[in-house]
Amino acid sequence: MKKLIVGNWKLNPTNLAEAKKIQTKIRQKVTGLRNVKVVICPPTAYLSALSLGRSNSIFSLGAQEVFWKEAGPYTGQTSPLILKDLNVSFVIIGHSEQRDLGENDEQINLKLRVVLDYGLRPILCVGEKERDDSGYYLAQIKRQLEDGLEKVSKKMVKQLVIAYEPVWAIGQDQRKAETPTSFLQHALFIRKTLSSLFGPAEAQKIPILYGGSVTIKNAEGFLTQGQADGLLVGRESLIIPNFVALAKLANQIK
Ligand code: 13P
């Protein structure tokens, strides 16, 4: 499967001109890459201005949030229909920064299902806050998967993307990121959990990305030793040459 390189801009940049500049430059420079799909997820307020008209096979737009109702008296929310209308293809759901603000697994599940219903691809983020030597934290990851994916039917599986983002590895110096070998072990654990939900053949189709302090220096390890199907990138996705280099690197790895 094509590697997925997803840039989560979070709440950056703070003006539209800069957002347009970053998007245009990245798009120009990734054109022609065959083995990678590049997704940028800007702040919601920019989605309309950055809308691509139509998605193409290399470059897509993603959203950082969605609400589970299509329309009505829901102040401040973002409808899945609006995202669809703007040709958004992916939606980050369950990011730890949203969970920290009170989003729970039930809400995550409602968002994920509405996104699936409208043919968009959810990127479900899971990951522990802390690791304990006894491995109790694995139960937390399992629960996030089981609750987040509740009532998702097998026929929707091909739209799913999972991002493993250990919370302690986000926003750190890259030396404090997860290691590729440990990522691989956790990705296997995630795959096993997906397999018990959807069966082994279906579970195999779901890309599992790594996220948390990815840089151009550590990315190769995750994609080769770690066998990651892609990367969910925060800060490095706003540095144009580095993000483009990440996409090119992923494009070369089979
Ligand atoms: P950083 O790459 O800045 O650590 O952010 C990771 C992240 O949270 C992506 O969703």
Give distance in angstroms: CA of 199 to centre of ligand 1. 30
Kindly list the structural domains of the chain, giving each domain's residue range(s) and its CATH number in brackets, ordered by start. 3-252 (3.20.20.70)
- Ligand 1 centroid – CA 214 distance (Å): 7
143: pLDDT strictly greater than 90? yes
- Rounded to whole angstroms, the Cα distance separating 40 from 36 reads 13
| 234 contacts 20 by C-beta, under 8 angstroms | no
Length of the chain (residues): 254
Query: What does the alpha-carbon distance between residue 204 and residue 188 come to, in Å, rounded to a whole number?
Result: 11
- In this prediction, residue 187 carries a pLDDT of 98
**Burial environment of residue 38 by CB neighbours within 10 A (0 to 12, 13 to 18, 19 or more):** buried
Q: Which residue has the higher pLDDT, 182 or 174?
A: 182
Ligand 1 nearest atom to the CA of residue 237, by list position: 2
d(CA 122, CA 215): 23
Q: How many CB atoms lie within 10 A of CB 95?
A: 27
Q: Residue 177: pLDDT band by 50, 70, 90 thresholds?
A: confident
Where in the sequence numbering do the catalytic residues fall?
Answer: 95, 165
Convert the pLDDT of each residue in 198-230 to its tens digit: 999 999 999 999 999 999 999 999 999 999 999
To test the ligand 1 pocket, which listed residue (165, 167, 174) has its Cβ within 8 A of the most ligand atoms? 165
The string of pLDDT tens digits covering residues 105-121 is 999 999 999 999 999 99
pLDDT bracket for residue 55 (50, 70, 90)? low
CB 89 within 8 A of CB 53: no
- Mean pLDDT (the chain) is 96
Mean pLDDT of 70-99: 97
pLDDT of residue 150: 98
CA 212–ligand 1 middle distance (angstroms): 5
Residue 135 CB neighbour total at 10 angstroms: 9
The model carries a pTM of: 0.97
Local confidence band at 54 (pLDDT 50, 70, 90 cut-offs): low
In whole angstroms, give the CA distance from residue 168 to residue 177.
Answer: 8
Shortest-distance Cα residue to atom 7 of ligand 1: 234
Give the gyration radius of the chain's Cα atoms.
17
* CA distance linking residue 60 with residue 38, whole number of Å: 6
Q: What pLDDT, in 10s, does the model give residues 19-39?
A: 999 999 999 999 999 999 999
Task: Decide: 247 and 38 in contact? Cβ < 8 Å.
Answer: yes
| Cβ(165)–Cβ(213) below 8 Å | no
At residue 56, does pLDDT exceed 90? Answer: no
Residue with CA nearest ligand 1 atom 2: 234
pLDDT at 57: 75
Pocket of ligand 1 (CB under 6 A): 8, 95, 165, 170-171, 211-214, 232-236
Closest ligand 1 atom to Cα of 170? 4
Confidence of residue 52 (pLDDT cuts 50, 70, 90): confident
DSSP state letters, the chain: --EEEEEE--S--SSHHHHHHHHHHHHHHHTT-SSEEEEEE--GGGHHHH--SS--SSEEEEES---SSSSSS-TT---HHHHHHTTEEEEEES-HHHHTTT--HHHHHHHHHHHHHTT-EEEEEE--SS--TT-THHHHHHHHHHHHTTT--GGGGGG-EEEE--GGGTTS-GGGSPPHHHHHHHHHHHHHHHHHHH-HHHHTTS-EEEESS--TTTHHHHHTTT--SEEEESGGGGSHHHHHHHHHHHHH--
Centre of ligand 1 from the C-alpha of residue 234, in Å: 3
